[in-house]
Structure 1
Amino acid sequence: MGLCISKPPPNPSLSVHKNDSPLAKDNPVAVKDSGKPAATSVNDENSTDRKKKDEESEVGKKSPFFPFYSPSPAHYLFSKKSPGRSPANPSSNSTPKRFFKRPFPPPSPAKHIRAVLARRHGSVKPNEAGTIPEGNEAEGVAGLDKSFGFSKHFGNKYELGDEVGRGHFGYTCMARFKKGELKGQQVAVKVIPKAKMTTAIAVEDVRREVKILRALTGHNNLVQFYDAYEDHDNVYIVMELCEGGELLDRILSRGGKYSEDEAKAVMIQILNVVAFCHLQGVVHRDLKPENFLFTSKDENAQLKAIDFGLSDFVRPDERLNDIVGSAYYVAPEVLHRSYSTEADVWSIGVIAYILLCGSRPFWARTESGIFRAVLKADPSFDEQPWPSLSSEAKDFVKRLLNKDPRKRMTAAQALSHPWIKSCNDVKVPLDILIFKLMKSYMRSSALRKAALRALSKTLTVDELHYLKEQFALLEPNKNGTICLENIKAALMKYAT
């Protein structure tokens, strides 16, 4: 040790050529002249031929890891044959090459998301970079078809009242039925001005929101949809009026202090409606406390999910790439632009964290900082009140906030978690994941099926509880088997 025996390279010119790379330029030793006198004219031709052969052998040298060699563009950029360094261009030799010692900072994810949302809602300013049109966005506002085919008799059925809420894309008013069986009953009307629909995407969002609301009718924790209307200026979406206020308001009024039982009651309702949406092939994409309303001011009032303006239909094997949502509740895979229904479960995990401790799991002063925290940071479970909460509650939140969507619980699995399961009135809904797992199993090889049967004997009691509930919902035959008819009957029963 401590002894180094090495010989000088037999060909100094070759050793300098090997170090002629961007990384070597920062090392003065690698490019320093050897200081030896120039060779005699007798050996000029031999040395020139030798240099050419060395360079050709270096270029044609095969990689030890790959059976072929594809020269890097950097080789031609920094080789002595590069046009920029040729004698015919002496001015280029006088300009030193510059390499940045510090890499550029990674681009802010917030900037891209803001640009996408601005284009989506048609609010891009003329001097912003986001004005480059994409696809149908190149159409002029005058060329957009803003006819939805909805009924045009809103004024005949409803009397519009005071405004109760406002968003960046529309506002909500109270209204009353003028006639019929529901005469005098109050409803909520979401008014969306057509003047704000300046892109084809914005028009399609409104059309899809109404389509989703019609498809999701019938769940107790979903705001009831009555009908959609339009006139020359606005689109009117008539829904059930929830007078109890937002979930966020209740969290703030309590100072963010929910007991485990109170938080559990809220989470059961949220998980139920989200599991229902996922079974129908709908991903909400904007779950947050502001989008859950109580039907009344009572302490035990029912919770209703609202605002499906950013929702979309998704197939079981499909991945979405549209960046939408709210900063504090957006899932990591949404920022990576490849996600499905698991993104909603992440948002539920953020809500659960807030209910139990009163603070957000990911926080920063800027949107970009929030997104970086979502991608790289882990939520803290060391500060109060986490040490005083049950281990089941902490495990529940951790399994919802798993950055790997493949390891994250589904909404139906979350309802089978020990923390939730302790409530007597919890019913596990049919999970769309079961059909994906069955499909994967049927396509597996005989060896894989044998391995899965062996692994099934290692399942925990909680995992078996979830599978037993799903098996019962499929209503197996008397001999304990499931066929295609059972699956069809289950989907007809639980899907809209």
Structure 2
Amino acid sequence: MGGCHGKQMQNPEFQEEESLQIPNARQPTPAPGTPQQGKFPFCSPSPLPGSYKNSPANSSVTSTPLRFLKRPFPPPSPAKHIRALLARRYGSVKPNEASIPEGSEVEVGLDKNFGFSKQFFSKFELGEEVGRGHFGYTCSGKVKKGDMKGQEVAVKVIPKAKMTTAISVEDARREVRILSSLAGHKNLVRFYDAYEDEDNVYIVMELCNGGELLERILLRGGKYSEEDAKAVIVQILSVVSFCHLQGVVHRDLKPENFLFTSGDEKSTLKAIDFGLSDFVKPDERLNDIVGSAYYVAPEVLHRSYGTEADMWSIGVIAYILLCGSRPFWARTESGIFRAVLKAEPSFDDPPWPSLSSQAKDFVKKLLNKDYRKRMTAAQALCMFLTILIILEAEHELVNYYNQPISGHPWLRNPEEAKIPLDIMIYKLIKAYICSSSLRKSALRALAKTLKVNQLYYLREQFALLGPNKSGYISLQNLKMALLNDSTEAMKDSKVLDFVNMVSSLQYRKLDFEEFAAAAISVHQMEALDTWEQHARQGYEFFEKDGNRPIMIDELASELGLSPSVPIHVVLQDWIRHSDGKLSLLGFVKLLHGVSSRRQC
């Protein structure tokens, strides 16, 4: 479990279920693995390559950490291979009963000196155990001397005897590094210091006495009201967006890993347990399988993921908060994984029909199996703040860039949901700058179709980058804006290196109109129900302003296609035979194109 922890709550009503103790758990209705296609034949989705308290009596289904050596598992039963490799990595197939493995499984000569202070017991008094996790346990404690004398704290104790591999040693070292470098966010557990002796590592943090989010769900009869769920989700999104901007992916988000600071109904929620967290660059993909079965994202099982995996977990949490059931459920780990990969969550059973369309839309946008179409944390916060404007005339052309915006109805406390800088903006701007002039024209045309709620997010991001009085930003603005929010974690995650590389590119200043074109996510646009309308309307703008006769060889060069590719076969449908200009199909494909003319 996490660093600070509430008391374990005994509730016999929920003890019979063998996994996460949420009532009304059910198996979702199987659905096709891919969403239904729209009218465009070329707009189909792009292909994609625990328990409530960790009781030893519970099945490993409940809280399997799923740490994995870098070797793919064969499909039908990933759970069996996860357990086997977990045993090799940590010395036990049961995460709560890890022990020193025998024989050659123990790595000889491991350096278990962390360089932490060895004065723990001279400064702290260790109290009773308040929580137990995968590879350690958490106790209450009290400060014996100094400015904090008498203050209660939480102490996560990680036995060195359980660190049987170099990876497990690095996991503990990285957890301390992440906690110590991520500082200053009100929804993040406060880190005080780390200590060690011959037997243990001690991580000292603030003590949260309000219990787990999971306990609150149970006390409320298994679910939150829609209004109360908003306040919880806003806090989760706020801290996760902060972590993602710093280049930290949590990888084990679940109700057990969020604690309230006190028993008050409006007490602050804190994210805990960074034992499975890692640093990740904006353009990097991780490949080791970690997390808890019910909350693991599809791309994690595919062994290629980034910060988007956390957003899937938040979608699962939001689903549970609102209806009291898991979106993906089975009695075995293999069944859970199959459901995550193949099934679609149900929004037909009560209470979903009685919930707002905004709440359902929010959850659906997070539980998109294609991670590229999933909302970021900053976008999800923005969704709370925007309202969908339904136009009287569906195809009416309006200049939305200066239209005012009103607050989203699915928000409880707007002041708590300050929209943070979104690192995805940096990735999209880099891709835009490296694109061909033809693709830039296509993106500018598509950006003109954006509605008020979509432009609100982009306007907020643009403002955070600090445009000058003339309304322009340079690439140096990207760097300066990020430095304003940077922590030490950015150095370890190499986020600053990525941004320095982007800001060093030679490119003219961007006004908001071009920024909107650069920062638009085509994949996310494709996930909208209105995608076909956006594409056709964008093509109309492109016809007026950017379309021109183009040779197939030129288009192939624009897209960076290899000479070995049968170009005429691949691209002949992209160009209208009547005038040699790009067709609607070619326009949509071009939006995804990658140019080789500029190397970034």
Q: TM-score over 0.5 for the alignment?
A: yes
Rounded to whole Å, the distance in 2 between the matches of 1:249 and 1:458 is: 45
Please state if 1:195 is matched with 2:168.
Answer: no
Rounded to whole Å, the distance in 2 between the matches of 1:439 and 1:146 is: 41
1:117 and 1:324 in contact (8 A); partners too: no
Shift of residue 200, structure 1, vs aligned partner: 1.1
- In structure 2, relative to structure 1, the CA distance for the partners of 1:412 and 1:321 (3 Å cut) is same
TM-score (norm 2): 0.62
**Structure 2 counterpart of 1:3:** none
Q: Comparing both chains, which one has the higher relative contact order based on Cα–Cα distances under 8 Å and sequence gaps of 6 or more?
A: 2
| Corresponding residue SS for 2:331 | coil
**Structure 1 counterpart of 2:305:** 339
**Structure 2 counterpart of 1:112:** 81
**Structure 2 counterpart of 1:210:** 176
CA RMSD of aligned residues (A): 1.9
Please state if 1:448 is matched with 2:414.
Answer: no
Shift of residue 113, structure 1, vs aligned partner: 2.2
> 1:108 corresponds to which letter in structure 2?
S
Rounded to whole Å, the distance in 2 between the matches of 1:251 and 1:419 is: 25
| Corresponding residue SS for 1:406 | helix
Listed as ranges, the gaps of 5+ residues in structure 2 are 1-73, 95-99, 387-407, 488-600
Rounded to whole Å, the distance in 2 between the matches of 1:365 and 1:140 is: 32
> 1:107 corresponds to which letter in structure 2?
P
| Corresponding residue SS for 1:143 | coil
- In structure 2, relative to structure 1, the CA distance for the partners of 1:138 and 1:412 (3 Å cut) is farther
Shift of residue 107, structure 1, vs aligned partner: 2.8
Shift of residue 441, structure 1, vs aligned partner: 0.9
| Corresponding residue SS for 1:162 | strand
**Structure 1 counterpart of 2:26:** none
Shift of residue 114, structure 1, vs aligned partner: 2.2
Shift of residue 419, structure 1, vs aligned partner: 7.2
Q: How does 1:140-289 map to 2 (within 5 A)?
A: 140-289=106-255
Shift of residue 197, structure 1, vs aligned partner: 0.7
**Structure 2 counterpart of 1:121:** 90
Find the partner of 2:341 among 375, 390, 393: 375
Shift of residue 106, structure 1, vs aligned partner: 4.8
**Structure 1 counterpart of 2:485:** 494
Shift of residue 306, structure 1, vs aligned partner: 0.3
| Corresponding residue SS for 1:320 | coil
> 1:355 corresponds to which letter in structure 2?
L
> 1:431 corresponds to which letter in structure 2?
D
Question: How many residues in Structure 1 have an aligned counterpart in Structure 2?
Answer: 384
Moved more, 138-147 or 429-438: 138-147
| Corresponding residue SS for 2:121 | helix
Shift of residue 217, structure 1, vs aligned partner: 1.0
Rounded to whole Å, the distance in 1 between the matches of 2:167 and 2:106 is: 13
> 2:264 corresponds to which letter in structure 1?
D
Shift of residue 225, structure 1, vs aligned partner: 0.3
Rounded to whole Å, the distance in 1 between the matches of 2:227 and 2:284 is: 36
Query: 1:414-451, CA deviations, whole angstroms, 9 ceiling, x for partnerless residues?
Result: 01115774433221111100101111111111111111
> 2:268 corresponds to which letter in structure 1?
Q
**Structure 1 counterpart of 2:421:** 430
Shift of residue 405, structure 1, vs aligned partner: 0.2
Rounded to whole Å, the distance in 2 between the matches of 1:160 and 1:368 is: 40
Find the partner of 2:382 among 413, 416, 420: 416
- In structure 2, relative to structure 1, the CA distance for the partners of 1:362 and 1:297 (3 Å cut) is same
Shift of residue 463, structure 1, vs aligned partner: 1.0
Greater helix share, 1 or 2?
A: 1
Rounded to whole Å, the distance in 1 between the matches of 2:420 and 2:84 is: 38
Shift of residue 215, structure 1, vs aligned partner: 1.4
- In structure 2, relative to structure 1, the CA distance for the partners of 1:419 and 1:469 (3 Å cut) is closer
Find the partner of 2:262 among 276, 283, 296: 296
Shift of residue 477, structure 1, vs aligned partner: 1.2
| Corresponding residue SS for 2:187 | coil
Rounded to whole Å, the distance in 2 between the matches of 1:254 and 1:124 is: 34
Query: 1:167-213, CA deviations, whole angstroms, 9 ceiling, x for partnerless residues?
Result: 23111111111111110000000001111111111111000100111
> 2:92 corresponds to which letter in structure 1?
S
Rounded to whole Å, the distance in 1 between the matches of 2:219 and 2:247 is: 35
1:274 and 1:411 in contact (8 A); partners too: yes
1:363 and 1:370 in contact (8 A); partners too: yes
Shift of residue 132, structure 1, vs aligned partner: 12
Larger radius of gyration: 1
Find the partner of 2:291 among 325, 346, 351: 325
1:334 and 1:343 in contact (8 A); partners too: yes
1:219 and 1:273 in contact (8 A); partners too: yes
Shift of residue 138, structure 1, vs aligned partner: 6.5
Rounded to whole Å, the distance in 1 between the matches of 2:84 and 2:451 is: 46
- In structure 2, relative to structure 1, the CA distance for the partners of 1:231 and 1:392 (3 Å cut) is same
Query: 1:258-311, CA deviations, whole angstroms, 9 ceiling, x for partnerless residues?
Result: 111100000000000000000000000000000000000000000000000000
| Corresponding residue SS for 1:379 | coil
Rounded to whole Å, the distance in 2 between the matches of 1:358 and 1:232 is: 44
- In structure 2, relative to structure 1, the CA distance for the partners of 1:119 and 1:454 (3 Å cut) is same
Rounded to whole Å, the distance in 2 between the matches of 1:306 and 1:155 is: 24
Please state if 1:355 is matched with 2:321.
Answer: yes
Rounded to whole Å, the distance in 2 between the matches of 1:150 and 1:470 is: 40
**Structure 2 counterpart of 1:394:** 360
Shift of residue 140, structure 1, vs aligned partner: 3.8
1:392 and 1:419 in contact (8 A); partners too: no
Rounded to whole Å, the distance in 2 between the matches of 1:139 and 1:360 is: 36
Rounded to whole Å, the distance in 2 between the matches of 1:418 and 1:462 is: 10
**Structure 1 counterpart of 2:465:** 474
| Corresponding residue SS for 1:417 | helix
| Corresponding residue SS for 2:382 | coil
Rounded to whole Å, the distance in 2 between the matches of 1:284 and 1:124 is: 23
| Corresponding residue SS for 1:188 | strand
Rounded to whole Å, the distance in 1 between the matches of 2:289 and 2:263 is: 35
Percent identical: 76
Rounded to whole Å, the distance in 2 between the matches of 1:294 and 1:416 is: 24
1:323 and 1:335 in contact (8 A); partners too: yes
> 2:429 corresponds to which letter in structure 1?
M
- In structure 2, relative to structure 1, the CA distance for the partners of 1:158 and 1:338 (3 Å cut) is same
| Corresponding residue SS for 1:159 | strand
Shift of residue 399, structure 1, vs aligned partner: 0.4
**Structure 2 counterpart of 1:71:** none
Rounded to whole Å, the distance in 1 between the matches of 2:442 and 2:112 is: 56
**Structure 2 counterpart of 1:483:** 474
1:122 and 1:199 in contact (8 A); partners too: no
**Structure 1 counterpart of 2:35:** none
Moved more, 416-425 or 168-177: 416-425
1:116 and 1:323 in contact (8 A); partners too: no
| Corresponding residue SS for 1:174 | strand
Rounded to whole Å, the distance in 1 between the matches of 2:217 and 2:93 is: 34
Rounded to whole Å, the distance in 2 between the matches of 1:117 and 1:352 is: 29
Rounded to whole Å, the distance in 1 between the matches of 2:423 and 2:297 is: 20
2:101 and 2:164 in contact (8 A); partners too: no
Rounded to whole Å, the distance in 2 between the matches of 1:154 and 1:142 is: 27
- In structure 2, relative to structure 1, the CA distance for the partners of 1:374 and 1:139 (3 Å cut) is closer
